[in-house]
Chains A and B, each alone.
Chain A
Amino acid sequence: MKNLLILGAGTAGTMMANKLAPELESRDWKITLVDQDETHYYQPGFLFIPFGIYSREDVIKRKRDYIRPGVELVMSAIEKIHPEENRVALANGQTLSYDALIIATGSDISPEETEGLTGEGWQRNIFDFYTVDGAVKLAAFLKDWKGGKMVMSVTEMPIKCPVAPLEFVFLADWFFTEQGIRDKVEIEYVTPLPGAFTKPVASRYLGDFLEKKNIKLTTDFDTGSVDGARNKLISYDETEIDYDLLVIVPTVMGAEVIGRSGMGDELRFVPTHDRTLQHKEYENIFVIGDAANIPASKAGSVAHFAADTVYDNFLRYIEGRPLLESFDGHANCFIESGFGKGLLIDFSYDVEPLPGKFPLPGIGPYSLLEESKMNHWGKMMFRWIYWNVLLKGAELPIEAQMSMAGKRRAS
């Protein structure tokens, strides 16, 4: 009996275990999945909590209920990975040996990386919404807020779900309008990027959106520190931005265990081949989801498309066949734009988000890079799809590889 060990039972780890379980049963392989947390968080739902659309209960489920029988789930923190010795030490004292390893330990915010951020003001008038705790506290703050200047800032790239902070300001514009205080709120979006988003065409579209919604855009701002006593966000070249309410996406880093194991880069992301998803050094390790240092968005949809490649390549690896270079960085993200509407972007390593119809050329029902009610429903339906299709490792009616069908190049 051989052992496949999967580290992390979040979006990617759960998906991989469920996808491989039926196949490996017949092959004399055992799957063990390790995580430290009994609760599975639907992270895309965190965005809606500050505005009272979702509550904490709407975004959590028990991990066990989503894992197929036949997969052994071990509940413990992972202490250290020893890739040279093919074993992993757990905090509960157990040591697990493996023949093959899939790393899916995700990413998380590290507010301590920014000077002053967790000092005065933290969770008083400075909040994140990338943790359920931060999102819930921000909701409590917003409920009674009378208005002032709200700054939404992205500390440094890459962050997970790079559209989430944009969605946050679009929803905030709607929320304050509903509350009847939009005229008392100034909204500013601060980013280290040269535009609203990472890719040029989408950046232009989204930049126009910000303008239309009267949201000020400040680009090329590299956050150096936060002065919570004086309510100032300060860049490395000492430009200051005032705020009454600061909503921030702190530096996002890979799991601490990756750092402890000496397996990560400066941000604790694991060096991974961007097309095969095999570890750059160890042949018997694959990396999926936010944990990998590949130049793709850190998003659940990306992990979903990547799962096809990891599935194929893991089986090829154990059969001694050459790996496929099939992963193309495909990402597909709904963007909430407020007032019951949304946008959709679909892109890859090589092709930036373009306008058009999706997934059926000319028909949709979703419109790419264009606001529609349908896109909003797509976003809201995503939660159901996440729990009922994605995590089960089942197929969505979307090809894993990005397709150019229905997209317009020139605009």
Chain B
Amino acid sequence: MTTMTVKDRSIEVNEEGFLVNPDDWNEEIAQEIATREDVGELKEEHWKVIRFMRDDFQANGKVPTIRRMKKTGGVPVKDIYRLFPKGPAKKAAKIAGLSKPEGCV
């Protein structure tokens, strides 16, 4: 287990950088993860996606897939890739404080 420090608070993350305790999440931590993932400053467009993901997870207990973000969240896929380049499903989930999207089988 490793830790990440945000404003003097030490946050536990796993080997891949996902939060160990989802309750630790707040917007500052999201920004810190985004910076580490080379996503840069989170803008309203990013937050829209992050909020949808968190709400959807609350409601369904599953990290939404890109397809679900498009169909249910109404976010065009191209935008998701522009906002969270290189592996957006995983990256956005990490920033949203959720677990790694369910492995494919």
Contacts and interface: CB of A to CB of B under 8 A. Distances in A.
Interface of A: 156-158, 162, 193, 198-199, 220, 222, 224, 236-237, 265-267, 295-297, 329
Contacts of B87: 220
Contact of B67 (A162, A237, A266): A266
Interface residues of B, number: 17
B48 interface: no
Nearest to B82: A237
Contacts of B72: 266
B104 A158 contact: yes
A236 B104 contact: no
B77 A266 contact: no
A329 B102 CA distance: 14
Contact of A266 (B71, B81, B86, B104): B71
Interface of B: 65-68, 71-72, 77-78, 80-81, 85-87, 102-105
The 7 tightest CB contacts between A and B, nearest first, are: A157-B104, A236-B81, A237-B81, A266-B71, A266-B67, A266-B68, A198-B104
B78 A162 contact: no
Given A220-B87, A224-B78, A236-B77, A162 B65 contact: no
Contact of A236 (B68, B78, B102): B78
Contacts of A297: 105
A196 to B, nearest CB: 13
Given A156-B67, A224-B78, A266-B72, A237 B85 contact: yes
Given A220-B86, A237-B85, A266-B71, 7 more contacts: A156-B67, A157-B105, A162-B104, A198-B103, A224-B81, A236-B80, A266-B72
Contacts of B78: 224, 236
B65 A158 contact: no
Contact of A237 (B68, B71, B86, B102): B86
A303 to B, nearest CB: 14
A266 B103 contact: no
A222 B72 CA distance: 19
Nearest to B89: A222
Nearest to A199: B103
B105 A198 contact: yes
B105 A266 contact: no
A265 B67 CA distance: 10
B29 to A, nearest CB: 25
